[in-house]
């Protein structure tokens, strides 16, 4: 017997900051960080979103749209946790640009019925492609360094859609080789690929030799601006 289905949207935190990574780095944005994730990556910097939090009050789509409308930010970033566990297409209002930070393993245009490791059961209808194809999707496939046994077959879906970029987190030179193998297997255009260095401290980001290697191999580099500025501070 399943746990109670999520009645609405569970949100871990909402804040304004600059986008720290990817193809919109530096842009003033409103962040909506959703609770719950279907993965458990070893180096995740938001593990507090993984599990059920009984202090969180579920919010409705209308409540979240009011928050989005009241923000001066044009760019709205859905992150997590894993935001595609929720119906993101129902949160759209005119005049805003939407971004989704996803691990890519949940296909948004398919109905979802999933039981998470903590027993939470989440169900949502398929998102409307006519709406979400206008989002900037930042798909972050997990490499072996995340200690996740996930396969990468879902990348067939994302590589066939020109909706955004792919962001990989690297720790060492071997990770760059692994990324080259992945993008070749799924015919991902290297111009859509950004590489970021794992870590939540200033020192972790000062890896010029590693960045030299990815430059030599023709990859875009994604600096983690929020880490450089604030370290591991929440709501940044």
Condensed to tens digits (0 to 9), the pLDDT of residues 138-183 reads 999 887 776 555 678 899 999 999 999 999 999 999 999 999 999 9
Establish how many alpha carbons lie within 13 A of residue 196's alpha carbon, considering only the half-sphere containing its beta carbon. 25
What are the start-end ranges of the H helices in the chain?
Answer: 61-70, 129-132, 155-159, 173-185, 202-205, 208-216, 225-230
Q: What is the pLDDT of residues 47-99, one digit of tens each?
A: 888 888 888 889 999 999 999 999 999 999 999 999 999 999 999 999 999 99
Start-to-end Cα distance in the chain? 39
> pTM to 2 decimals?
0.92
Confidence label for 7 from pLDDT (cuts 50, 70 and 90): low
What is the reported pLDDT for 149?
52
* 91: Cα within 13 Å, side-chain hemisphere: 25
DSSP string, 105-131: -S-TTS-EEEE-TTS-EEEEPPPPHHH
Query: Which pLDDT does position 41 carry in this prediction?
Result: 78
Helix, strand, coil in percent for the chain, rounding step 5:
30, 25, 45
Query: How many other C-beta atoms lie within 10 A of the C-beta of residue 83?
Result: 25
pLDDT of residue 192: 97
| Percent of the chain predicted with pLDDT > 90 | 78
pLDDT at 5: 44
User: What homologous superfamily does CATH list for 11-230?
Assistant: Aldolase class I (3.20.20.70)
Distance, CA of 118 to CA of 140 (rounded, Å):
23
Is cis: bond before 229, omega within 30 of 0?
A: no
Q: How confident is the model at residue 2 (pLDDT cuts 50, 70, 90)?
A: very low
């Amino acid at each position: 017997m399943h746990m109670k289905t999520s009645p609405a949207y569970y949100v871990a935190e909402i804040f304004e900051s600059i986008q720290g990574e990817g193809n919109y780095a530096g842009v003033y944005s409103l962040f909506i960080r959703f609770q719950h994730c279907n993965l458990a990556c070893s180096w995740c910097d938001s593990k507090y979103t993984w599990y059920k939090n009984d202090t969180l009050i579920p919010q409705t789509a209308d409540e979240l749209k009011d928050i989005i409308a009241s923000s001066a930010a044009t760019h709205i970033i859905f992150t997590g946790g894993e935001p595609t566990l929720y119906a993101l297409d129902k949160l759209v209002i005119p005049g805003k640009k939407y971004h989704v930070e996803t691990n890519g393993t949940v296909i948004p245009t398919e109905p979802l019925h999933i039981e998470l490791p903590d027993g939470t059961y989440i169900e949502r209808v398929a998102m409307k492609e006519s709406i979400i194809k206008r989002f900037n999707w930042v798909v972050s496939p997990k490499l072996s360094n995340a200690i996740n046994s996930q396969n990468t077959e879902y990348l067939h879906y994302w590589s066939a859609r020109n909706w955004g970029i792919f962001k990989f987190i690297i720790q060492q030179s071997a990770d760059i080789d692994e990324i080259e193998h992945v993008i070749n297997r799924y015919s991902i255009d290297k111009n859509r690929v950004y590489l970021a260095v794992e870590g939540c401290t200033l020192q972790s980001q000062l890896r010029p030799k590693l960045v030299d290697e990815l430059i030599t191999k023709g990859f875009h580099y994604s600096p983690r601006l929020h880490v450089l500025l604030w370290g591991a501070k929440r709501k940044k």
